[in-house]
Structure 1
Amino acid sequence: MSLTASNTAGVPNKHDDMDKQVETDGVAVVEQQVHGDFEDVADMPDEAYLRAPKKVRWFRGTLFQMFLFGLLSFSGPAMSDAIDNLGGGGLATPYTANAANAAQYSIACAMTLFGGPLINKLGIKWSCIIAATFFPIQGASYYVNSKYGTQWFVIFVGAIGGFFGGLLYVAESTAMLSYPRAQERGKYIGIWVSMRNSGQLLGGAISLGVNVKTAGVGAVSITTYLIFIVLECLGLPGALLLSPTRKVRRPDGVPVPLAAPQSWKMETKLLLKHIIHKRTLLMAIPAFYSFFYGGVYTTYLSLHFSVRARALSSFLYPLCTILLCTGFGRLIDSKRWSQKTRAWIGFAFWAVPQAAVFVWTAILYAQFEKNNLKGIDYTNNTADWFRCYLPYLIIQTTGYACQLYLYWLLGCFSSDVKSSARTGGLFRCFETAGQAISHGINSRTSDKRIPLYINIGIFFLMVPTLSILIRMVPKDPHNYDDVTDEKKTQAVTQEAIATTEARGL
């Protein structure tokens, strides 16, 4: 349903003339003031939206959009992660799954590099629709491999999945950075992260129910994949329900800031300007690091734990992640401290436990080598299971807190949707590069301590670069200069508002 001033459900006819005046004069004045750079202007409430019926406001509101993005993550990446969290995709060994993930993230890395301009052309909604059509194919590839032993199909689907996954990664990143208001960013990103993990939680519950009697090592039941395929089909309806970005409104009626359409040549120039910006260069290593642990620790789980212990893990860690990230999102939104102080607190929240986990895991690997520990199960030796599983649980839960934090941190610098698309695309480019390399080295290296040591090395590179980026965070929201400095958004906005108020709009 359109929310234009001249055609909004529930708006009385007596307002038509005034609304047409707003549409023909006010918008023209605003567009003229920004010299064509912005279609919507920040801090100007949409009166037609505020007068619309409650169900329309809910449907177009940012909160409902976050739930839909959560549904997309639930049925797509969450189901993929749930399969991966079985350890090696639930297969008897992790090597095929690691090769497929390496192929997927390599293509996704290339895709997300140019994802910003592509998303700006396709739009967030259509990018999500295209991506959602692929979700069930990935689950089907694991089913075919488990039933017929067709390993090449898993790797092939992983490779083409990088294209579709890259579209989704940049689309949802753009929305996370630009849709919420500054004071609600942690809360809304927390909703998205929690819904993504609720998908893994459900997937884990299914895996545990199907595989609870399998105490040995090996592959999970083939029925597990059929259930995942059904859940992956939910993504397309969710994508179709998304509102086009130009129609999305924040709770106070303010539209999401939109930059005007640009040519491919200009999009490329703006992307290059983003790439060489100091913030982008500082963001590269933290983004590369953020999910590097995935290949390292899913291999760890696959090689040393029983089938039902892996199934229990796929249920237990999403539950803990939901609880942790919900609280963490509220913590970094707290008004008790300045924005910069919250940035430092949020950094310590996940970085300190991860540093401890790396030391813990290195000690465990030495013990595994000495005692040849495999098939660790929570019923046979609970103490050993807890001691060996806890570092995996900590790294997985704080890993999502790390991603939530990095989105929140980048949101401190974002302005309009198109700028956020470039930032989000580059962020996901570096992130998927880390995932591709992590899974790649875990599919080839016989000594699994080597990927762990590489992960530790990247951690020590990440700490100083992220610290420098935190020092650039303004004390208060919106006190920043955009990377592309598109006509000094804030100053132009205030001038446009003053002009429209002078006309009595």
Structure 2
Amino acid sequence: MTSITEEQNGIHQKKPFYRSVPFQIAVAAGVSFTAPGMWDALGGLGAGGAAEPYAVSAANAILLRAIGYPLYGAGLYTNNKTATTWFMIFGSVCCGISAGFFWAAEAAIIIGYPSPKERGFYLACWQTAKASGPIIGGAITLGLNANRETAGSVGSATYIVFIVLMCLGLPIALLLSPAHKVWRKDGTRVVVHKHASWWAELQAVGRLAISRRIVLLVPAFFISYFYNPFVSTWLTSYFTVRSRAFSSFFTPFAGIFSSFIIGTFLDRQSIFIRTRAKVAFATIVTLLVGTWIWAIILQKRFYDNPPVFDWFKGGFGSAYALVFFWTFTGQAFQQYCYWLIGQYTTDLTSLSHHTGILRGLEALGQTVAWAMQSEAGVNHFVSIGINFGILLIAIVPTWIVVSALDHTHEEVVTEEIVGSDKADEEGSVGPEGLQAAALAKN
């Protein structure tokens, strides 16, 4: 494995590349690609590729997800072959249990390992990895289903490919390094502040959950991925199988574009951090409001004369463009939430608490949203109205939090501090190290 050599205090120190931030982010992104990326690819088909969205929506309602992901894919396969729903529900439960741990750890690594000025870029890389799953999975699906001009379910061979890819997540995850061994190119280190006991850890999470900042951000966290189940139902209701396969392949590019656009802007150190935060938030909200107004207009037209769009025929363009911009703005909003909480953390432990709360509320939002789509004949205007309403509710409290942002709150810990007696033998930085770091920052 390639090593990087730096001269520090007159001593040449070899830094293995596999301990660097880029490599660690690549590993985390690889797991995201094989697990949630493939799950998103199935979702991009509309109802996991099923003919009807309701049973799959019910399963997704209990999906909180990388050992459990293959079981979820297997459940979709059996449902496709034999219309068996119990195993699909079982796979969703297993996937949900494992996902709770996966989500918190994944987000903490992506935000906590890079330095604050690089977080926007690495968040975009992470989003790209997740989007690459649907792109590649969508290409596979498109190739296997390109001749299916009618509505219905995708071929069963599609699920076999997804299950194989999902199984690769576990061996890739074994390449991750402990936080205290990761090095950054600017010389700062990842801070890990351990609590004395699990009870102290639980109390810290409780205090954070009821803090003013988190309470204000609850609506934003809840709505950040709330739109996705309705998009799945929209695709299943109004598009042919091959149109849905095309959407599964092409729509993730929208998330990649928006992730790098917002990530690049949020990393611009020449612009004051509060200004960056306000401009980005106002732009995202404006685009989101526009998509839901667009949805209302199209839905009124569809209820009067329900269509089934084949690709590039009839009104496919305007209907699919809405799906594209839902993903474009939705991914940008989700990434913005991660970036925002990343500015308030002092160490990886605190960051895992923040991301755990964010992803928990995000999962709760998805659970409610999937449950709304689990009944046949659900009124689409109700779904649109709830999405639009919660978005409007989230604007003011999120703006209050954004307006209070004046600098990144991360403690700056250097190689010297970690190498001193202020770091414990496992590499975690104790209170004295954090105090020294704060003095160094100021």
Q: Work out which structure has the larger RCO, using CA pairs closer than 8 Å and 6 or more positions apart in sequence.
A: 1
Tell me the secondary structure at the aligned position of residue 63 of structure 2: helix
Number of residue pairs the alignment of both structures matches: 421
Task: Could you tell me which runs of 5 or more consecutive residues in structure 2 were left unpaired when the two chains were aligned.
Answer: 412-429
> How does 1:139-218 map onto structure 2 within 5 Å?
139-218=73-152
Tell me the secondary structure at the aligned position of residue 360 of structure 1: helix
- Deviating above 4 A after TM superposition, structure 1's stretches of 4 or more consecutive aligned residues are 45-48, 486-490, 494-497
Q: 1:493 aligns with which of 412, 437, 441?
A: 437
Sort the Cα spacing of 1:196 and 1:216 in 2 relative to 1 into closer, same or farther, 3 A: same
2:341 paired residue number: 410
1:377 positional shift: 1.1
For each residue in 1:164-197, what CA deviation from the matched residue of structure 2 results, as whole angstroms up to 9, or x when unmatched? 0111100012113321111101011111111111
Tell me the secondary structure at the aligned position of residue 443 of structure 1: coil
Normalising by structure 2, what TM-score? Answer: 0.90
Matched, 1:64 2:8: no
> How does 1:319-468 map onto structure 2 within 5 Å?
319-373=253-307, 375-381=308-314, 384-444=315-375, 446-468=378-400
Task: Could you tell me which runs of 5 or more consecutive residues in structure 1 were left unpaired when the two chains were aligned.
Answer: 2-8, 16-44, 109-131, 481-485, 498-505
> How does 1:228-267 map onto structure 2 within 5 Å?
228-267=162-201
CA distance in 1, matches of 2:410, 2:354: 18
CA distance in 2, matches of 1:455, 1:46: 56
Tell me the secondary structure at the aligned position of residue 257 of structure 1: coil
CA distance in 1, matches of 2:217, 2:111: 15
Normalising by structure 1, what TM-score? Answer: 0.79
For the 8 Å contact 2:68–2:94, the answer to whether it is kept is no
1:200 positional shift: 1.1
Sort the Cα spacing of 1:489 and 1:274 in 2 relative to 1 into closer, same or farther, 3 A: farther
For the 8 Å contact 1:91–1:218, the answer to whether it is kept is yes
1:153 positional shift: 1.1
For the 8 Å contact 2:81–2:156, the answer to whether it is kept is yes
2:424 paired residue number: none
**Superposition RMSD on alpha carbons, in Å?**
2.4
Tell me the secondary structure at the aligned position of residue 104 of structure 1: coil
Q: Which has the larger radius of gyration?
A: 1
Q: Which amino acid aligns with 1:430?
A: L
For each residue in 1:223-243, what CA deviation from the matched residue of structure 2 results, as whole angstroms up to 9, or x when unmatched? 111111111122112100011
1:24 paired residue number: none
More helix by share: 1
Identity of aligned residues (%): 33
CA distance in 1, matches of 2:70, 2:236: 24
> How does 1:217-228 map onto structure 2 within 5 Å?
217-228=151-162
1:133 positional shift: 2.6
CA distance in 2, matches of 1:135, 1:308: 24
Q: Which deviates the most, 245-254 or 295-304?
A: 245-254
Matched, 1:78 2:10: no
Tell me the secondary structure at the aligned position of residue 52 of structure 1: strand
1:306 paired residue number: 240
1:296 positional shift: 1.3
1:285 positional shift: 0.8
Q: Which amino acid aligns with 1:473?
A: L
For each residue in 1:67-104, what CA deviation from the matched residue of structure 2 results, as whole angstroms up to 9, or x when unmatched? 11111110000100100110011000111111111011
Q: Which amino acid aligns with 1:463?
A: I
For the 8 Å contact 2:50–2:80, the answer to whether it is kept is yes
Q: Which amino acid aligns with 2:357?
A: L
Sort the Cα spacing of 1:46 and 1:209 in 2 relative to 1 into closer, same or farther, 3 A: farther
For the 8 Å contact 2:257–2:328, the answer to whether it is kept is no
Tell me the secondary structure at the aligned position of residue 62 of structure 2: helix
1:251 positional shift: 1.5
Tell me the secondary structure at the aligned position of residue 51 of structure 1: strand
For the 8 Å contact 1:94–1:302, the answer to whether it is kept is yes
Sort the Cα spacing of 1:333 and 1:221 in 2 relative to 1 into closer, same or farther, 3 A: same
